[in-house]
């Protein structure tokens, strides 16, 4: 059994409404068709936050990003690569950007900015949906998305 550890982030931007960034990958060799968040392997000597920020930049071209304090969630899954079982942990942060323009790397085939409900429908893996639910709940609880409407009362 091999072990892998990656880090990534639920990237969002807030305009009139909040939108989440999803990356798309066609099915190929080891992978099914996927909509998921930016993420990637932690390099030696790198902190998990650094990995998340680096992977966001590499996979989306977005370098102006702010990690939201106090949000960190882990998922775990197994997969098989060339006959070898891989046990994998992925740590997700929550990252805010004001940028809309995205340039995907060769690892992906597309992207989209989606509302919470649209994202829940798009996301391929149930554990990613759980992360998004937690991220959305966190934003609501910390009044990070409804500040404007609350201010009206």
What is the separation of C-alpha 4 from the centre of its chain, rounded to a whole number of angstroms? 17
For residues 67 and 94, what is the distance between their CA atoms, to the nearest angstrom?
Answer: 6
What's the min distance (Å) between Cβ of 45 and ligand ATP? Answer: 17
Interacting positions 60-89 with ligand ATP (CB under 6 A): 75, 77, 79, 88
Give the dihedral sign, CA 31/71/113/129.
positive
User: 88: how many CB neighbours lie within 10 A of its CB?
Assistant: 15
31 lies in the binding site for ligand ATP (CB under 6 A): yes
2 vs 150, beta carbon nearer ligand ATP:
2
Sole binder of ligand ATP in the list 10, 22, 39, 94 (CB under 6 A): 39
What's the min distance (Å) between Cβ of 20 and ligand ATP? Answer: 15
67 vs 75, beta carbon nearer ligand ATP:
75
Burial (CB count <10 Å: 0-12, 13-18, 19+), residue 81: exposed
125 lies in the binding site for ligand ATP (CB under 6 A): yes
Sole binder of ligand ATP in the list 26, 41, 50, 109 (CB under 6 A): 41
For residues 110 and 52, what is the distance between their CA atoms, to the nearest angstrom?
Answer: 19
39 vs 122, beta carbon nearer ligand ATP:
39
The DSSP code sequence of 64-90 is --EEPTT--EEEEEEEEETTEEEEEEE
Contact set with ligand ATP (CB under 6 A): 6, 30-32, 34, 39-41, 75, 77, 79, 88, 125, 127-128
């Amino acid at each position: 059994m091999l072990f892998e550890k990656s880090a990534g982030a639920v990237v969002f931007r807030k305009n009139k409404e909040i939108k989440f960034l999803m990356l798309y990958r066609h099915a190929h060799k080891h992978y099914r068709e996927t909509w998921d968040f930016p993420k990637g392997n932690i390099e030696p000597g790198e902190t998990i936050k650094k990995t998340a920020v680096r992977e966001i930049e590499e996979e989306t071209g977005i370098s102006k990003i702010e990690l939201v304090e106090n949000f960190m969630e882990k998922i775990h899954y197994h997969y098989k690569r060339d006959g070898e079982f891989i046990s994998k942990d992925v740590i997700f942060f929550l990252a805010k950007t004001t940028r809309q323009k995205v340039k995907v790397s060769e690892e992906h085939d597309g992207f989209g900015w989606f509302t919470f409900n649209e994202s829940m429908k798009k996301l391929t893996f149930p554990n990613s949906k759980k992360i998004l639910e937690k991220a959305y709940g966190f934003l609501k609880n910390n009044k990070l998305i409804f500040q404007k409407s609350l201010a009206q009362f």
